[in-house]
Amino acid sequence: MNQDSTKISLTNRSKVVSNKKMTLMERFYLPAIFKGMIITFKHFFKKDVTFQYPEEKRPFADIYRGLHVLKLDDEGRERCTACGLCALACPAEAITMVAAERKEDEKDLYREEKYAATYEINMLRCIFCGDCESACPKEAIFLTNRTVPSEYKRDSFVYGKDVLVEKKNARIDVSKRQTPEVLAFKKDKSKSHNK
Amino acid sequence: MNIDFILYKLLFAVIILMLSLVVAMYATLAERKVAGFFQDRLGPNRAGIFGLLQPVADGVKLFFKEEFMPAKADKVLYILGPCLTMLVALLSSAVIPWGDTLIIGGKEFALQMADVNIGVLYTFAVVSIGVYGVMIGGWASNNKYALMGSVRAASQMISYELAMSMSIVTIVMTSGSLSLNEIVSQQHGMNWNVFTQPIGFVVFLICAFAECNRSPFDLPECETELIGGYHTEYSSMKLGFYLFSEYINMFIASAMISTLYFGGYNFPFMNELGLSHNWISIIGTLVLMAKIFFFVFVFMWVRWTLPRFRYDQLMRFGWKGLMPWAFINMIVTGFFYMLIKRGF
Amino acid sequence: MLSHYLFFFLSAVALISAMMVLLSKKPIHSVLYLTLTFFTLAGHYILLNAQFLAVVHIIVYAGAIMVLFLFTVMLLNLNIEGEFPKSTLMKFVSAIAGGMIFLVLIGTLKSFEVTTIGNPELTQIGLVKNLGKILYSDYILPFELSSILFLSAMVGAVMLGKKDKN
């Protein structure tokens, strides 16, 4: 072992363990036991850290990386153009999509001429790293502070567009994670990922 | 032997048994609640308000679980094991004085099942046959972990029985009686034995932990080494009996501690209050209950504070730690008692 | 009257379980039947108003000695297959030995006279106080001698259990 490694201390709570011979008083153990019991007794009156889950939910951070959403733009058209950058960026290979061309009468459904006919994320593969969000050039996919609910079958964890695309009448706010700084970072040509 | 005496004894027996069972039932809830509070959690609180229906829910769950019996188990002994454990756990409540006497209609009714003049020895006997249930169950399961657990349990109980008896012998020496009722009535007011016998009390308390297989002496049923110990193969209500008898044992052990060392139903200023005999008796019983619940809490408190002993540590502590102290305590007490008696 | 019925019940249980000690196939059952026999004997002591003897009987025999028996039998794991081989000679010898014990029993029973014992409720000899007084006055020497015997046995056990230094 490196001699210096013992001197590095990350917290000041660490104690040096020694094998010294115990004094007579220490060998009775009873004082130490009482000390321990007083410590546990103090905890008896401490505030509980429990969240009563279904009624009471732990507040998530605004930038929590949970269940994905495919955003619509302000006019309610899908932003995604099925460029496939998210699937490419995904380290877990959880994203698949099939691209299709927009028809003339679908202009109010899709923002650009190409769109994702199917868009699937396998939530069992997804590691919620957020790389898809960073990779997306169209600000179409975001992770949100919602969680993936449990299911009975593995197949039900493959989420399609019916779940992922946000509803027109129930928009999901991602403004907290789409700050000007984030947008500037994504547009910055000097960064390697934008080249 | 008139008829109302028999009726009274029957009624009292039923009450005491029900009391032990109900207390044990709610001790399971209390244990989980206390564990929760010690660990900054809440404990069960979904079944009923404050989780008051949790024991019922647990009981229903145990009843409806599958009755499983290992193929090569000894069928009779497999069933006998938990029954015996339960029986023995309930037996010792017979000699504990739950209160003073009640005078109803000129007749005196003792709040004790049987005031035998060998009450202390009776509890010894019950404790010593408590080993059988565990041993039989562990052996009949035909499982090496279960056998291991039962062997551990038996050797632990036998080892700690000695120091325990030694500390009670000191109490018997000072009070000059083997009757629990006599021992309690000698501790009138505040003359509790714990003040004259502090070492004996500590030894008795530690041995009580060991006899109940409670932490830090819970190696017979430790999950990490023996996947549950002697009740590894048990399921359904047979397992329930084993788990339940642990709580009954805890209740009875607390009652014994209160009786032998903390004055039983006696409480300070019981003469100065100027209440009638019956009221004093009722308050005394309540006080005894309060003492018992305090010690049940201590049992739980210790369980959630101290880690488990290693097997060799357990044996060394029992034989080399507790036994000499119990011996010294006994000899010193005997010496002083002789000095006082002889009037030197 | 009740004690009469209790006496017959306990005697029946004692005899049956004593027989079962010999007849049961598994050694562990034999041990447990023996324990049951001890319990019935304790019951008899209580019927004779000797509570102290009864309880001590349970503590010593059922609580300590039989537990040790149980221990050994459990750990030896004696099965029916592992039964000791019995040769014809062995059977012959054991039959003679058993028969002689039987003869001795018959001989003693023949010279036994039925004595009427007074009501056991009135004899207080089995109670702790009286027993203690007798033990520490009339029988002080045998009592102390047996305690010395126990002490030497304890010392011997410790010596045997001690680790050999070599």
Q: Do B38 and A43 touch (CB under 8 A)?
A: yes
Amino acid, res. B192: W
Spelled out in words, what is the top-level CATH class assigned to the domain C2-126? mainly alpha
Q: What is the pLDDT of residues A100-117, one digit of tens each?
A: 998 888 888 888 888 899
Helices (H) and strands (E) in chain B, counts: 13, 2
Instruction: Name the percent of chain A lying above pLDDT 70.
Output: 93
At residue A1, the pLDDT reads 44
**A79: CATH:** 3.30.70.3270
Q: Would residue A18 count as lying in a domain?
A: no
CB contact (8 A) between residue B131 and residue C67: yes
Sign of torsion, CA C3 C4 C5 C9?
Answer: positive
Residues 6+ apart with CB under 8 A from C17: C33, C34, C36, C37, C40
Contact present, C and B (at least 3 Cβ pairs less than 8 Å): yes
C-alpha distance from A38 to closest chain B C-alpha (Å): 9
- Residue C121: predicted pLDDT: 59
Distances (CA, A) of B87 to A105, A193, C57: 83, 75, 20
Q: Where are the domains of chain C?
A: 2-126, 127-166
Average pLDDT, chain B: 84
Residue B20, min C-alpha distance to chain C (Å):
24
pLDDT band at C126 (very low <50, low <70, confident <90, very high): low
- Tell me whether residue A60 is in a domain: no
Looking at the predicted structure, is the pLDDT value of residue C153 above 90? yes
Number of domains in chain A: 1
Q: Specify the pLDDT at position C79.
A: 58
Mean pLDDT of C5-15: 90
pLDDT at residue A53, rounded to an integer: 83
Local confidence band at C118 (pLDDT 50, 70, 90 cut-offs): low
The span from the CA of A148 to the CA of A102, in Å, is 31
Q: Which are the contacts of A108, defined by CB distance < 8 A and separation ≥ 6?
A: A75, A76, A77
Tokens describing residue A51: 């969240």
Q: How confident is the model at residue B276 (pLDDT cuts 50, 70, 90)?
A: confident
pLDDT tens figures, A51-86: 888 888 888 888 888 899 998 888 888 888 888 899
In this complex, which of B41, B42, B305 lies closest to A40 when CB atoms are compared?
B305
Q: What is the mean pLDDT of residues C158-165?
A: 79
Residue B343 pLDDT grade (very low, low, confident, very high; cuts 50, 70, 90): low
Q: Read off the tokens for B243.
A: 């788990």
Query: For all residues of chain A together, what is the average pLDDT?
Result: 84
Evaluate whether residue A50 is within a structural domain.
Answer: no
Min CA distance, C59 vs chain B (Å)?
A: 5
Contact B305 A46 (CB under 8 A): no
Alpha-carbon gap, residue C166 to C158, rounded angstroms = 17
- Give the residue among C40, C31, C33 at the shortest CA–CA distance from C71: C31
Complex ipTM value = 0.80
Could you tell me if residue A55 is inside a domain? no
Overall average pLDDT of the B83-88 stretch: 88
Range of the domain at A74: 68-183
